[in-house]
A and B are shown apart, each in its own frame.
Chain A
Amino acid sequence: MSERVVIEAQELSKVYHMGKTEVHALRGVSIQVREGEMIAIMGPSGSGKSTLMAILGALDVPTGGRYWLEGEEISRMSDRELAIIRNERIGFVFQQFNLLPRNTILANVTLPLIYGGVGARERRERAAKMLEMVGLGDRLGHKPTELSGGEQQRVAIARALVNEPAIVLADEPTGNLDTKTGAEIMSLFKRLHQERGITLIIVTHDPEVAAQTERVIYLRDGRVVEPPEGLLTGAKPQEVDDGHPEDD
């Protein structure tokens, strides 16, 4: 794909205080993601996947370590700067779709452009184009509740892509979908990845989902570890697209 590093994270740690006890969600995670990669983050519950995803997505800041996104250090940014980073560089796809139920799907996809200060006409055009790309070009005026789960997730993907972000973070994107619909969403991801060169990070429990990515980062107890043997049936863990050297 490309030699350009999009994500550079060094020794990320995150400590939560739950009353008197300290919870170490991350204990020194270092990863690197290149432009155009499609990777999976896996690991059992409590391994720190969600925390890592929140930090990579600029929703939260690490307690320790440093994180650069496209060469800009964002581990020490203010709330306002983080909001701008989320708006311009990151697209989220959630398990629960997380669409605004009262707004039309067009309005939902326009949302990031509104906060990005894009003019009304351009917003509409870009959002409509994105919805067309995910195959919902004829449903612009519908409310999310009028759509199936798979269609709602495609709206969420359109919303994630509309600002042309540096990375797309998907948190269990197929977790709420049946197998067939889940497979459709995954093939949409793969198509977008191939056609548009999107850098995609998928957090998942599902080995079948992980098997469709190019590389798996496996977390256990807040650290990056080797995936267990035979985790990905039919896929070779740590196998990388064009064989450039692995980080970590």
Chain B
Amino acid sequence: MGTRKTIKRRGAGINIGQNVWIALDAMMANKLRSALTMLGVIIGVCAVVSLLSVGRGAEAAITEQIEGVGTNLITIIPGGQVTSVTATSGHNLTLADAEAIEAEVRHIVAVAPEFRLSAQVAFEDNGMDTLVIGEMPEYAVIRNLEPAIGRFISQDDVDGRERVAVLGSQAADELFGGLNPIGRTIRINNVRFEVIGVLAEQGAVGMFNPNTYIYVPLSTAYRKLASGRGVTGGEYLVSTIMIRAETQEAIDDVIAQVESILRRRHRLDPDEDDDFTVISQQELLGMATSITSTMTVFLAAIAGVSLLVGGIGIMNITLVSVTERTKEIGIRKAVGAQRWHILAQFLIETVVLSATGGLIGIALSGAILAAINSTGALSADLSPEAILIGFGFSVLVGVFFGLYPANRAASLHPIEALRYE
């Protein structure tokens, strides 16, 4: 005879491309079922990708805002670190502290103590509740503020305790609409102030929106608005002291000097904690970013739960599919499919299913983000990182939840599988 050829071929006899094709074909043959199966993954990936992107967008906005203010900035607020139980001793930062800092600390450009109070502000019939801040002229230097129209508070205003006010852009809009506010009179807690300037629009930081603030001379704030709350034991209290260091490198040195002066002035023993908090803009940036990232990751993790549920859906359908296709598995085994051939076939099917769901979810998320962007409330773009994470997780879900059904299929005994009807 001699027609028999004993050719030993034990190579990797399975073609991934072909299996992907078979899987896509099976998906198209069962469109509704595939769509329903993928739904969980679509929703999960869409939620994860959208939240990650929105979170990154918010983070970028905050970073931009804080950096825009300048990185040489140091802020001192009363009260110790929140971590300390004993250090919540209220308002203990005074104008004299600020003056001492200005007089003693080296390598600083300017110091601006401020006093904040909430007040009712009105122009004719338009009223609003907002934050009124008693400021020194140095504030404009420290924050790089440029009035859009008019001017900022001057030293003369402070010295003369003038009743003048500078409006944030949004406050100006709300009170005056389209009118030019310069020279007009507003009432702050029923005290009349003349508007001398309107600030250019600034970026909002979370719930703090400086555009609604109104600035008056610090001395005027104590005299006309604080109604005694600003003074205790003959000392003027301040809400914040802002300092601009000469350079970024000088910041650590400036902070050390400030701390030593304040500890001395507040008569703190060496074993006592600070009763004030010094935050550099760098730290603020770090804090804000870490809070947003934590929030983002937390929300994305919650969204990830729906991805998990989607994975269980895929596992469920694949188990049904394995049962339905028992005969097919038997046939494949009869013609020589090895265990791993069947395993790979079903795994590829689940991965194709979940990865397709992932891609649809990413596309959907892109549409949602575009819709959010078009409202102008937030700028969030589909970040490559979010796409990668979304797609990666959808593939992982496919592998993880496909393993059990695929293993079940691969373990079928050829005889029993062939007899299955």
Contacts and interface: CB of A to CB of B under 8 A. Distances in A.
Contacts of A99: 331
A54 interface: yes
A88 B9 contact: yes
A98 B18 contact: no
A117 B11 contact: yes
B29 A102 contact: yes
Contacts, number: 93
Given A98-B418, A115-B335, A115-B338, A197 B1 contact: yes
Given A98-B331, A164-B3, A197-B1, A115 B14 contact: yes
A225 interface: no
Interface stretch (A78-86, A214-222, A232-240): A78-86
Judged by DSSP, the binding face of A is loop
B13 A116 contact: yes
A59 interface: yes
A197 B26 CA distance: 39
- Sorting the interface of chain A by its residue count into under 10, 10 to 19, 20 to 34 or 35 or more gives 35 or more
Contacts of A83: 333, 336-339
Contacts of B388: none
A46 B15 CA distance: 41
B338 A84 contact: yes
B341 A115 contact: yes
Interface in A40-77: 54, 57, 59-60, 70
B1 A59 contact: no
A159 B26 CA distance: 22
Interface string A15-52: 00000000000000000000110000000000000000
A35 B29 CA distance: 44
A114 B328 contact: no
A29 B15 CA distance: 40
Contacts of B15: 114, 120
Nearest to A55: B415
A188 interface: no
Contacts of B336: 83-84, 86-88, 112, 115-116, 163
Contacts of B328: 100
B161 interface: no
Contacts of B29: 102
B334 interface: yes
Nearest to A116: B9
Interface string B243-277: 00000000000000000000000000000000000
Contacts of A118: 9, 13
Nearest to B2: A197
A111 interface: yes
B103 interface: no
Nearest to A2: B1
Interface in A125-167: 159, 163-164, 166
A16 B382 CA distance: 60
B335 A159 contact: yes
B151 interface: no
Contact of A114 (B8, B14, B334): B14
Contact of A84 (B3, B5, B10, B14): B10
B7 interface: yes
B85 interface: no
Interface in B214-251: none
B338 A80 contact: yes
B25 to A, nearest CB: 7
A116 B15 CA distance: 11
B179 interface: no
Contacts of A84: 10, 336, 338
B6 interface: yes
B5 A164 contact: yes
Contacts of A244: none
B332 interface: yes
A57 B330 CA distance: 13
B339 A79 contact: yes
Contacts of B9: 88, 116-118
A35 B1 contact: yes
Given A59-B415, A84-B338, A102-B29, A115 B3 contact: no
A92 interface: yes
Interface string B1-44: 10111111111111100100000011001000000000000000
A111 B3 CA distance: 21
B210 interface: no
Given A88-B7, A102-B29, 8 more contacts: A70-B6, A114-B18, A115-B332, A116-B9, A116-B336, A117-B9, A117-B11, A164-B4
Interface of A: 1-2, 35-36, 54, 57, 59-60, 70, 79-80, 83-84, 86-88, 92, 94, 98-100, 102, 111-112, 114-118, 120, 159, 163-164, 166, 196-197
11 contacts: A1-B1, A57-B334, A60-B415, A80-B339, A86-B333, A86-B335, A94-B418, A98-B331, A111-B335, A114-B18, A117-B11
Interface of B: 1, 3-15, 18, 25-26, 29, 327-328, 330-339, 341, 413-415, 418
